[in-house]
Amino acid sequence: MLCQAMGAACTVTDLCVQPSQLQLPHIDKDDLVVVAMPVFAGRVPPWAVEQLRKVEQHGAKCAVVAVYGNRAYDDALLEMQDVATAMGFRVIAAVAAVAEHSIIRKYGKGRPDAADAQTLRQMGAEIWRKAEAETCATVPQVPGNRPYKQAGSVPQPKGRRGCNRCGICAKQCPTGAIPLADPKRVDTTKCIACMRCVAVCPSGSRRIGAVMNLLATQVLKKACATRKEYELYL
């Protein structure tokens, strides 16, 4: 929606794939690049940053988007701006966007919704206008702190009752944290808790477990009680 509102042809590249499946985009100096990353425990996942750094940016203009589950994005948006700037991108805009929480789905449920879609269209148009204007050299003042907060622990899902070891989760895990020979397991040193394995599991048997689900629900309850709105920094 954000890219569509800019009125130009868009090419989408998924960086959250295994290295052998990664197809890096070709970027020209005059392009406007939108870099979107999820927020896990107030930070962007190091794996996503590693993948982004493989991209040759050629000094292109850039808008960074931190997507979070209606709790808070903490230092993640600032971190994204810093990473993109250090790579050589010209960051002209930053967006904090709300989506359904990846673990406790009732928080942010149904988002982005119709109101969010309209907001994204408006933001996309504003970003495009800045990219086309002479003032595009101004740097957005993004909230956050340096040094960044330490990322908190996030529950890691496993294959539970009903798992038939089909291996779909292992094949789609971007970090290779799930062994194909025994997909019920997880390598905790590689797992970034992106929950892609939970989303693609055809039997619904990959999850974090009832006790951990209850604890996470209670921890997030107060912070996620009110609806957070999208924010644009130009």
Q: For the segment 179-224, what is each residue's pLDDT rounded down to a tens digit?
A: 999 999 999 999 999 999 999 999 999 999 889 899 999 999 999 9
**4-148 and 158-207: identical CATH topology:** no
pTM score, two decimals? Answer: 0.92
| pLDDT of amino acid 226 | 95
Q: For the segment 34-56, what is each residue's pLDDT rounded down to a tens digit?
A: 999 999 989 999 889 999 999 99
Cα–chain center distance at 201: 20
Higher-scoring residue by pLDDT: 229, 23: 229
Q: Which CATH architecture has domain 158-207?
A: 2-Layer Sandwich (3.30)
**Domain boundaries, given as residue ranges, for the chain:** 4-148, 158-207
| pLDDT of amino acid 6 | 67
Number of H helices, E strands in the chain: 6, 6
Q: For the segment 4-32, what is each residue's pLDDT rounded down to a tens digit?
A: 666 667 888 888 888 888 888 899 999 99
Q: How far apart are CA 219 and CA 153, in angstroms?
A: 12
The 10 Å Cβ neighbour count of residue 107 is: 21
Q: How far apart are CA 123 and CA 136, in angstroms?
A: 15
Two structure tokens written together for 121:
């269209």
| pLDDT of amino acid 165 | 92
The 10 Å Cβ neighbour count of residue 147 is: 6
Class of domain 4-148: alpha beta
Residue type present at position 31: D
